[in-house]
Each structure stands twice: as C-alpha cells, then as structure tokens.
Homo-oligomer: A and B are copies of this chain.
Amino acid sequence: MTAINRQWCLAHRPEGDIEDGDLELRETPVPEPGAGQCLVRNIYLSLDPTNRIWMSDADQYMPPVEIGDVMRGGTIGVVERSNGGSFKVGDVIQGLGGWQDYYLTDGVGASRIPTEYGFPLPAYMGLLGMIGATAYFGLLDIGQPKAGETVVVSAAAGAVGSIVGQIAKLKGCRVVGIAGSDAKCQWLVDDLGFDAAINYKTEDVLAALRRHCPNGIDVDFENVGGEILDAVLSLLNLKARIVLCGLISQYNATEPVPGPYNFTQILMKRARLEGFIILDYAARFPEAITELGQWLSAGKIQYRVDIAEGLEHAPTTVKRLFSGGNTGKLMVKVSEEPV
C-alpha cells in the first residue's frame, strides 16, 4: 500500500474537447478516516459522457466540479480502514469516489456490492449499477415500449445503449441501433440481437432508418442529439416517446448549439420528449438491479467492458467517449481487486 494518493484535479474548464492541461495530477498523502468514516481504495473508475458536463460550469443537474477539486467520478473500491464507518474492512462498495486512488466516505451515496452473488466486479459498472439502471428505467419507465413497437437507440454500442437495445428485445420490440463503426454495428446485430444497426459515419442515417424502420419509430432512446436526433424525429409515429438521456454530440461545443431542426415533429406527432437522469430513480434501484441480475444469470443479457489500465491514463481515456473510441462500458482499472 502506497502512502500516496494520486488525484486528478480540474485545472481548467475545457473549451471544446478535453485537453491535456485541463486535468492535473496531484499527489497527496492517503487521508486518515475521521470518526464515522471509512477509507476506500478505488479499484475501478467509471468514465462517462457526463464527466464532460461536470467539467463545465453550464447549468446542469449536479453542481459542476470546482476548479482545483478532485474530478468527480463513479468508482468501485474496497474498504481498507474503518473508523466506526458504515462499512466493514474488506467490503466492496460503489460510490462517487472520484478520480483518485483513495477516498474517505461517511457512507452517504455509497452502497455495498453483494460480492457473494459471484458476479465479476466490472459487471457492477457495466450492467448492475448506474448504467443498467439508466437503461432499465429510461427505456421502460419513460419510453414505455410495447411489444411489436420499433425502438431506436443512438450511441447503441455505448454502455447504456447496448443494454437498452437488449432490454427492448426482451420486451418484444424491433430494435435499431446507431453506432460509429462497422465492428460496433456487427456486435450489436450478431452478439446482442439488434434487428439492425446503422453506421452513422458511413451511412445516410435518415435513409437507413427509413429502411430499417418500415413501421416508423415509436421509441427513441436518445444519447446523442444533433443530426441523429433530427433523422429520428422525421420518422416518429403518432404518440412516440423520446427518452432524452444524453446529448453527447454537443457536450464539447464551444458555440451555442441549436435544438433539432425537426422540433416541429414533436408537435405534429404529439410525441413526448422527456429528460431523464438516473439520480431521480435512486429509491427504485433494487428493482432494476434485481431483474438485470436475473437476466444476466439466465444468459438473457450481456454487457461489455472496455478497461484501461492505470489511473494515470484516465484523462486520455475519457476522451475516447467523444471520438467513438470505446465499445461498451469505458472504465479505468485503478488498483487490483481483492483476492
């Protein structure tokens, strides 16, 4: 155990793409747990599109990370010391541990991972945690797909999108994914059972959607925005539902970004577009995790993780989210799992 805690801190708010100097590595001593606290060693760090939102000071759903603060991030870690804290030494817990080797927690916002079920730890980042719950509640609660309906998923080979499509298939829907490479599209169709997948980098998305959605679009699980959302809007069915889960195409924008040009179609088709952030469903997490765990055990759903080794690579790795350089859940291995 090193006595050093490496921390990636926000040095500047990015203008556009995240640049090398925006995050700065600081070395501090491993902190001492105060009364009621636990010291946690991070094992896995989750990298998510929302990291870019937190780096900006735009109006958002949580307070932005302050300049100089440790970068916020979801983590899985192991409790190494407890000073009367909520967890026992050796407990594996998930929480917002940040981009660092160690953190202290009083237990708020953290929860123990039931390792006794035998799922590998990355499963909790790729499926049985925020990501899976986002896909589950976003699709089922907001999107309300019915069997036989057509569901379109953008960023379909991403962490959330790949789960959304599989749940929609389990619910009897026709599922069309939009992703950024032929390899990703092939994975969606061959391995995950999507009915079709569109490579937005090489295909005319609108024409391809028209071909693959002969009965129009009933549910759009939107992770991207921009031109992709515009193409979807032009094919909406009456009373379609758009789950607005992310707008990754514009998080790096340096100029104001207009909303979709086909906005009027929401009126004409009496569609419902609803913003969705998983935090609002915290109380219902167990519902999602239980069913996702059952599907995983039964071989009905799969997840894929894309793991970079070493906390030092977090800033370069997070950029891959914005260039389409990941498939499935992007994460960083910070330290070794307990044996």
Contacts and interface: CB of A to CB of B under 8 A. Distances in A.
Nearest to A53: B268
B274 A271 contact: yes
B263 A260 contact: yes
How many copies of the polypeptide does the oligomer hold? Answer: 2
B276 A270 contact: yes
Interface residues of A, number: 34
Nearest to A269: B275
Interface in A224-282: 225, 234, 244-247, 250, 256-277, 280
Contacts of A323: none
A267 B247 contact: yes
A59 interface: yes
A117 interface: no
Contact of A270 (B58, B259, B262, B277): B277
B271 A267 contact: no
A275 B280 contact: no
A228 B327 CA distance: 40
Contacts of A59: 234, 265, 268
29 contacts: A58-B264, A59-B265, A59-B268, A60-B268, A61-B270, A244-B266, A245-B267, A256-B261, A257-B261, A257-B263, A257-B264, A258-B260, A258-B263, A259-B259, A259-B261, A259-B262, A259-B263, A266-B275, A267-B275, A267-B277, A268-B275, A268-B277, A269-B275, A270-B276, A271-B274, A271-B275, A272-B273, A272-B275, A273-B273
Interface of A: 58-61, 225, 234, 244-247, 250, 256-277, 280
Given A61-B269, A270-B276, A271-B275, 20 more contacts: A58-B264, A59-B268, A61-B267, A61-B270, A246-B267, A247-B267, A250-B264, A256-B261, A257-B261, A257-B263, A258-B261, A258-B263, A259-B261, A259-B262, A259-B263, A266-B273, A266-B275, A267-B275, A270-B275, A270-B280
